Structure 1
Amino acid sequence: MNGLPDYLDRNLKIIFVGYNPGERSALLGHHFAGRGNQFWRLLHDAGLTKRLYQPEEDDQLLADGYGLTNLVVRPSKSSSDLSAEEMRAGAAELRQRVEQYQPMVVCFLGKEVYRKYAGLTPRVVVEYGLVKTATVFPAMKEFVAPNPSGRSTIPYREKLAVFCQLRKLLEMPTL
């Protein structure tokens, strides 16, 4: 099973970073295509997109100023199937992509995705929302949002509140 293409460009408003493609997303060839995945609905309900996109329209997010990538390219049933080495290598490659494309905001879809990217130990507390001091590239904003997977135990309304914070961050004149 192949990974998914990155949808990246320079000067994007946000690059959304997932852990890795799920098996269904990889099979269908589109980001966040798993049954129950709430990514597309969260974007729309938070006001980040004017309409509700479908997974097969993932390449069209670039026109809205949003990019898509993953920490690890290899699809799996669960992120727990990924090795520590895959995550270390994926984090290094992700930092290169972020430096190359320089978005205004890098949005990590899950606390663990951010921990791996930033090289933080599991003991370091990571909160949802804007990271107060960017750990990798200080000129870019780092934002942590809940994983939109349908398997996540976080209630939808709590996920939506964080995605609304992300929209408000984009609306700030100092961004």
Structure 2
Amino acid sequence: MTAATGHHFARPGNRFWPVLHLSGFTPRLFKPAEQDELLAYGLGITNVVARATARADELTAEEYAEGGRLLTAKVGRARPTWLAVVGVTAYRAAFADRRAQVGPQERTIGDTRVWVLPNPSGLNAHWTAATMAEEFGRLREAAEGRRGRG
């Protein structure tokens, strides 16, 4: 759906947009077609790997590694305070960090701090919308300066 629509997390049933709202990052539930409105809230969205797939396991290790290099360069140019990577498996593959867990990471990219969030795909069923919203909320609080490194 993302490839067909040109909008991130566009598949019906993907929990990204509801979780983003439940966590307090957005004042209302956004639709995928409204993704550009995130900039007004100091949020941006991009891919680790630009090739659209139905499942993350369709991507190769080389694609993830190249995606990590490209994302690092993008972060170096944009210099956000935080980089949130959705999906611990994607993060581990893109940044060669096999032991990473959901949450704040020790790694930084320049001055940019890194947080791994759970993947909102319905295939990631052991995370509920409520538990994902809690984790997204932890990042929001850290980004607002209400918490330390985690």
TM-score, structure 1 as length reference:
0.78
Give the secondary-structure state (helix, strand or coil) at the position aligned to 1:67.
Answer: coil
Query: Are residues 1:159 and 2:129 paired?
Result: no
Query: Are residues 1:171 and 2:144 paired?
Result: yes
Q: Mean alpha-carbon deviation: is it higher for 110-119 or for 141-150?
A: 110-119
Equivalenced residues, count: 147
Q: CA RMSD in A?
A: 1.7
The one-letter code matched in structure 2 to 1:31 is H
| Equivalent residue, structure 1, for 2:101 | 127
1:173 Cα offset (Å): 6.2
Distance in 1, Cα, partners of 2:80 & 2:74: 10
Structure 1 moving runs of 4+ over 3 Å: none
Distance in 2, Cα, partners of 1:169 & 1:111: 19
Relative contact order (C-alpha < 8 Å, sep 6+): which is higher?
Answer: 1
From the superposition, tell whether residues 31 and 38 of structure 1 become closer, same or farther in structure 2 (CA, over 3 Å): same
The one-letter code matched in structure 2 to 1:113 is A
In structure 1, the gaps of 5 or more residues are 1-23
State percent identity of aligned pairs: 34
In structure 2, the gaps of 5 or more residues are none
The one-letter code matched in structure 2 to 1:167 is R
From the superposition, tell whether residues 174 and 146 of structure 1 become closer, same or farther in structure 2 (CA, over 3 Å): closer
Q: Deviations over 1:60-92 (max 9, x none)?
A: 111111111111111111111112221121111
Distance in 2, Cα, partners of 1:46 & 1:172: 16
Bigger helix fraction: 2
8 Å CA contact 1:35, 1:150 repeated in 2 = no
